Chains A and B, each alone.
Chain A
Amino acid sequence: MTVHSLYILNKAGGLIYQRDFSNHINRLSSNDYLVLAGTFHSVHAITTRISPVPGSSGITTMETDNFALHCSQTLTGIKFLVISDLRQPMIDAILKMCYQLFADYVMKNPFYQIDMPVRCELFDINLAQYLQTIA
């Protein structure tokens, strides 16, 4: 049961935060991460259109052979993506807690500019602490 990484996307699909929490997931170049975030943002928008029944949301969960990717979009358009093991429980709580930490340590930081990459030490520390408690 591991959370492998967390990505935060702003409302335009730009990557504002990326961090790996396990050594198992392979590292990509920072450019690749930006491309990945942009791709996911567009696919998220497309998936609302291909729904066979009206009124669908975008992707909430994606499964692959080895991991699952969970996405939650806030009302302000920010997306939190968590890559975890396939059997990770309480994923909704984890996403919610990430948002709470983001609100507390990033949005309430007076030096943080909206939609720009997140560089807040307190956010890093508290996020790592929280994810250690659930590991």
Chain B
Amino acid sequence: MTIYNLYIFDRHCSCIFHRQWHGDLPEVTASSTTAATRLSPLATNSHEDNVKLVFGSVFSLRNMTQKLTLDGQTNAFVSFQTSKYKLHYYEPLSGIKMVMLTDPQCTNLKQVLQQIYAGLYVEFVVKNPLSPLEYLEGEQIDNEFFVAGLDLFVRGLPVFE
């Protein structure tokens, strides 16, 4: 089992943090240029495009699940899965969106994302008086404690290999 990526989006839909542990970004893989993708103009998505696509799909699915409810209960989007990866989603009340990509065999990682939010993001980013309240366009979390703590935490997870 593997953990590929973690994305954090702020309330203004911009990506404020991205970290990759495994896997290739789509543009550096040679084998992804099969006949179908080579014809497509999107075949070589850059990192920025990739981030936008991740946000777009998560945002659409989140709105979709909010519309489809059972017995009027509130309904939150948790994860989706394809043949090659699984995307886990967690949105705390503060409105930031945390997205983690793992391999499909992975169990539910909502707890893990909650721990990252409460134990690392709140401790090292929110409580840090020097970190900005609102991130500017293109600005990312560059707090060393947060990055180091996250790395240590994720590498220590049983699902990480």
Query: Smallest Cβ distance from A111 to chain B, in angstroms?
Result: 32
Which residues of B in the span 73-92 have a Cβ within 8 Å of any Cβ on A? 73-85, 87
A42-B29 Cα distance, complex, nearest whole Å = 23
Interface flag for B71 (CB, 8 Å):
yes
A8-16, A63-71, A97-105, A121-129 - the one binding chain B: A63-71
Q: Taking A39-B60, A55-B31, A61-B80 as contacts, is the C-beta distance between A46 and B53 under 8 angstroms? A: yes
Task: Provide the residues of chain A in CB contact with B118, threshold 8 Å.
Answer: none
Interface status of A17 (Cβ within 8 A of chain B)? no
> Which residue of B is nearest A40, CB measured?
B64
In the assembled complex, 13 residue pairs joining A and B whose CB atoms fall closer than 8 Å, in A order, are A26-B72, A28-B67, A36-B68, A49-B26, A51-B82, A52-B4, A52-B24, A52-B84, A53-B23, A57-B84, A60-B83, A62-B80, A64-B77
For the complex, count residues of B whose C-beta is within 8 A of A.
46
Residues of A within 8 A of B (CB): 4, 24-26, 28, 32, 36, 39-40, 42-43, 46-67, 83
- A50-B57, A52-B101, A54-B24 known; A4+B67 contact, CB < 8 A: no
Given the known interface contacts A50-B53, A51-B84, A53-B84, the answer about A63 and B42 at a Cβ–Cβ threshold of 8 Å is no
Pick the residue among A28, A43, A55 that contacts B60 (CB under 8 A). Answer: A43
Within the assembled complex, what's the spacing in Å between the Cα atoms of A68 and B120?
Answer: 30
Tell me if B31 and A65 are in contact (CB < 8 A).
no
Chain A neighbourhood of B72, CB < 8 A: 26
